[in-house]
Amino acid sequence: MSDTLQTAVVGVTGYAGAELARLLLHHPRLQNTPPVFAGRVDSNGSSGDASRNSIPLAEIHPQLAGGHTANLKLESFSWELLASRGVQILFLATPHEQSRTWVPEALARGLQVIDLSGAWRLTEAANRAIYNFEDEGTKLAAETQSQAVYGLPELHREQIANASLVANPGCYATSIILALRPLVAAGIVDLNHGIVADSKSGVSGAGKAPTAKTHFMYAADNLSAYGVFTHRHTGELLEQIGIDQSQIVFTPHLLPIPRGILSTIYAHFGGVQTAESISSIYHDFFAHSPMVRLFDKSLPQIQYSVRTNYADIGFQLAPDGRRAVIVSCLDNLLKGAASQAVQNLNIMQSWHEAEGLE
């Protein structure tokens, strides 16, 4: 294909950044225009030479070596570099604070941005407060936030198609929103009874930088809850499902596996439901969503979705028809991050939503 869209990725050294690079390098529409990889160039443990202004991509991620990627490099970031390469869409797989600084500048320079951080996901100040952004309340931050579209294609395709800034959702949030939004939108969930979302993620969800709770001796042979009532993805659940804080309890857990998320969600209904009625709600809601797989006769498992670009959803209805357990699985680095970003790219370019992902 002869499309000439030029993309750039900042943050390729991280786990999600590596997956994003792999997907873009193999995207059928981008074979003639590999991404520009930009960031901080230093001795990253393999180059050993902090004086260089570029590092071969294969030194950072040997799994990406070979073929048309052989000459690709991570180059020292500058706006001039992006301009000289004709970059049109900028992917940021950067920390929240970095994205808060760079996104307004990118937009001012006429770039479209797909941001994988949490910097611009939340429309309500009360939900953003957990990030403690230094620019909160400024005119520039408000103007930038007004341009942001929450990048969950299954909910916001039309807005994403015309967006200048797409805020890629959080991984936990994606798994829970996709499972709950159809039922809540259908009006069958008894919100006053409360929803419980019990989520478990592999260690890569914590990022590449090691911490006391993610190194092998802590995580192996262990299962631990964290971020109880304080996790940053909670605000996304409230805003995108359309509920308030009193109506859901979300508890994330750290699993001793590299990647993958399983969310087990407990919901009560206002009236008696049948398996067929709930299945119909899901199938109607996701009728045009190629990256969601619905399990009608079994429940999803992490092993089915890991290293794929799909979100898997299934449910089990209680005998009384008033309660259900919903299970939602995805790969936190793919549908929870990198492949969702590529899905958004496809929509922004009017390409098939699943191109390069199925």
For the chain, give every domain's residue range.
7-168+337-348, 171-330
As a whole number of angstroms, the distance between CA 266 and CA 181 comes to: 13
Residue type present at position 327 = V
Does domain 171-330 fall into CATH 3.20.20.10?
no
As a whole number of angstroms, the distance between CA 171 and CA 260 comes to: 9
Domains 7-168+337-348 and 171-330 share a fold: no
171 is annotated as an active-site residue: yes
As a whole number of angstroms, the distance between CA 236 and CA 121 comes to: 7
pTM above 0.85, yes or no: yes
Segments in the chain forming alpha helices (H): 15-25, 57-60, 79-84, 96-108, 125-128, 139-147, 153-161, 171-185, 216-219, 234-241, 275-285, 302-305, 338-348
Please report the pLDDT score of residue 271 as a whole number.
97
Please report the pLDDT score of residue 97 as a whole number.
96
314 near 292, Cβ under 8 Å?
no
DSSP 3-state of 7: strand
DSSP for residue 170: P
96 near 135, Cβ under 8 Å?
no
Please report the pLDDT score of residue 215 as a whole number.
83
CATH topology of domain 7-168+337-348: Rossmann fold (3.40.50)
As a whole number of angstroms, the distance between CA 115 and CA 135 comes to: 17
Residues near 146 by beta carbon (within 8 Å), at least 6 away in sequence: none
Between the two ends of the chain, the Cα-to-Cα distance in Å is 18
**Residue 279, CA distances (Å) to 50, 124, 294 in order:** 56, 32, 9
CB atoms within 10 A of CB 33: 18
Among 103, 171, 195, 324, the one annotated catalytic? 171
346 near 354, Cβ under 8 Å?
yes
Q: What is the DSSP string of 218-264?
A: HHTT--EE--TTT-TTHHHHHHHHT--GGGEEEEEEE-SSSS-EEEE
Please report the pLDDT score of residue 85 as a whole number.
97
Q: What is the mean pLDDT of each run of 10 residues along the chain (358 residues)?
A: 82 96 96 94 52 85 82 95 98 97 98 98 97 96 98 98 98 98 98 97 86 84 93 97 97 96 98 98 98 97 98 98 98 98 98 97
Please report the pLDDT score of residue 3 as a whole number.
63
